[in-house]
Amino acid sequence: MKKKIFFLLLTILLFIYLLWLGYHLLSFKTYRPPPKSFLSEVVGAYHLHSKYSDGRKNVEKIIKIAAGSALDFIILTDHGSPNYECLQSQGWKEGLLVLAGSELSVSRGHLVGLAFDEPSRPFSQNAEEAAKQIRRLKGFSIIAHPFSKAQWSWGKSVPYQGMEIISGDSMLKKNFLSSLPYLPALLLMPEYALIKMIDPPQQNLIKWDELNNDHSLYGYFSLDAHLLYKPLLSLLRLHLLLEKPLPPDFQTARREVFDALRKGKFYCAIEAAAEARGFRFWAKKREETSPMGKTLLLDSPVTLLVRAPFPFAKEIHLVHNGKTILRSHKRRMTFQTEQPGTYRVEVYLKEKTPLNKKAPWIISNPIFLREEKK
Ligand SMILES: [Zn+2]
Ligand SMILES: [Zn+2]
């Protein structure tokens, strides 16, 4: 009899749990902006590992998955100093621009090098030296998962051009236990389970803002995918702003994507929570218009302009030197300033979203207003 009651209770509990999970999964709907053409917006995913290092799938399989995920480009970053096999896999494949760099293990942690000409000998294991070598070969470097050593390990002088703000892999490891109730969703609706694992990247944002007082560093949402390629590819994306759509010539297309990243002409989005296409942040000084990523000399007032992808359910924050100075629920925001410093934008989703309300859905790259050219 006792056994029967026990099993009955267990069944009821399981039923309630399934109802609860089902309710959450069914009530999740991603926002979609109206179908417009944003010809100059190119969307891709950055930081993927293949079987050329410790990834679970080979490059061909990853390309197949990415080509079916409505992406324009992917950037493979297998471990190595550099990883020559990974670099060799670049090209236009299945309509997808496949680019590659390498993730170097250096004295201060993991450093991603992109756009470099192939070196004749391995990169240095010293972080600063490796960054200089990458630059000499016309490339640039990005600090990967910056707090993976718990404390900031990258020193004060920062010869790097970017840092990761959200890292898919670090997030999975860190928040695995707290997202346990959503784990079955990994099979049913994996994007949902992954969105639930994202917490506000406060530590990285604070460090980024601090570094940008003296440097110009660009922020990246990084997959660091070793498995779960499909859901990760639709979770975190980079949106590049180019003058024209990507050209068919591989070398030109490669240069254009890497140049946009090198100049910070892009923003990052948690794309699975809502499609971000159409977001813009730019500056106007007199008659001159500048995209995000630019450094402007502050010799006359500058107007900063923001446009959100859709008019509802979001909050735009304008951040100046790490502090939110303006919030808006409208679709557009303008702000005139004569104050020097680093200006960037965060957009938060405010309704019916599984995304933590304090985690930014979109992060723009900064516009730097300097009193003298650095
Ligand atoms: Zn790493
Ligand atoms: Zn990695």
Q: What is the pLDDT, as a whole number, of residue 135? A: 97
Q: Which ligand is nearest to the CA of 47?
A: 2
Per-position DSSP letters for 117-137, written without gaps between them? PPPSSPPPSSHHHHHHHHHHT
User: Could you read off the pLDDT of 276-322 as tens digits, one per residue?
Assistant: 999 999 999 998 899 999 999 999 999 999 998 877 778 999 999 99
Ranges under pLDDT 70 in the chain: 29-39, 373-374
Q: What is the pLDDT, as a whole number, of residue 75? A: 98
What is the architecture, at CATH level 2, of domain 39-272? Alpha-Beta Barrel (3.20)
Query: If you ran DSSP here, which 8-state letter would residue 26 be given?
Result: H
What whole-number distance in Å separates Cα of residue 134 and Cα of residue 144? 15
Identify the H or E element spanning 262.
Answer: helix 250-262
Distance 56 CA to ligand 1 centre (A): 15
Strands 162-167, 218-222: pairing is: parallel
What whole-number distance in Å separates Cα of residue 280 and Cα of residue 291? 8
Distance 110 CA to ligand 1 centre (A): 5
Q: What is the pLDDT, as a whole number, of residue 97? A: 98
Distance 307 CA to ligand 1 centre (A): 34
Distance 239 CA to ligand 2 centre (A): 20
Distance 103 CA to ligand 1 centre (A): 7
Q: Which ligand is nearest to the CA of 144?
A: 1
Q: Which ligand is nearest to the CA of 223?
A: 2
Q: What is the pLDDT, as a whole number, of residue 140? A: 98
What whole-number distance in Å separates Cα of residue 132 and Cα of residue 216? 16
Q: Which ligand is nearest to the CA of 102?
A: 2
CATH 2.60.40.10 boundaries in the chain: 278-374
What whole-number distance in Å separates Cα of residue 296 and Cα of residue 352? 38
Backbone angles phi, psi at 98, to 5 degrees: -100, 115
- For residue 156, give both structure tokens: 């004060």
Q: What is the pLDDT, as a whole number, of residue 29? A: 65
Q: What is the pLDDT, as a whole number, of residue 148? A: 82
Distance 82 CA to ligand 1 centre (A): 14
Distance 35 CA to ligand 1 centre (A): 37
CATH 3.20.20.140 boundaries in the chain: 39-272
Distance 11 CA to ligand 2 centre (A): 42
Domain covering 278-374 in this structure, CATH number: 2.60.40.10
Distance 52 CA to ligand 1 centre (A): 14
Distance 77 CA to ligand 1 centre (A): 9
Distance 247 CA to ligand 2 centre (A): 29
Distance 86 CA to ligand 2 centre (A): 13
Q: What is the pLDDT, as a whole number, of residue 37? A: 41
Q: Which residues pair with 111 in a beta bridge?
A: 104, 143
Asked if 249 and 263 count as a contact pair (C-beta separation under 8 A), the reply is: no
Q: What is the pLDDT, as a whole number, of residue 27? A: 76
Q: Which ligand is nearest to the CA of 48?
A: 2
Distance 216 CA to ligand 1 centre (A): 22
Per-position DSSP letters for 205-259, written without gaps between them? HHHHHHHTTTS--EEEEE--BSS-HHHHHHHEEEEEE-SSPPPSSHHHHHHHHHH
Please, is 75 exposed, middle or buried when counting C-beta atoms within 10 Å of its C-beta (0-12, 13-18, 19+)?
Answer: buried
Asked if 275 and 254 count as a contact pair (C-beta separation under 8 A), the reply is: no
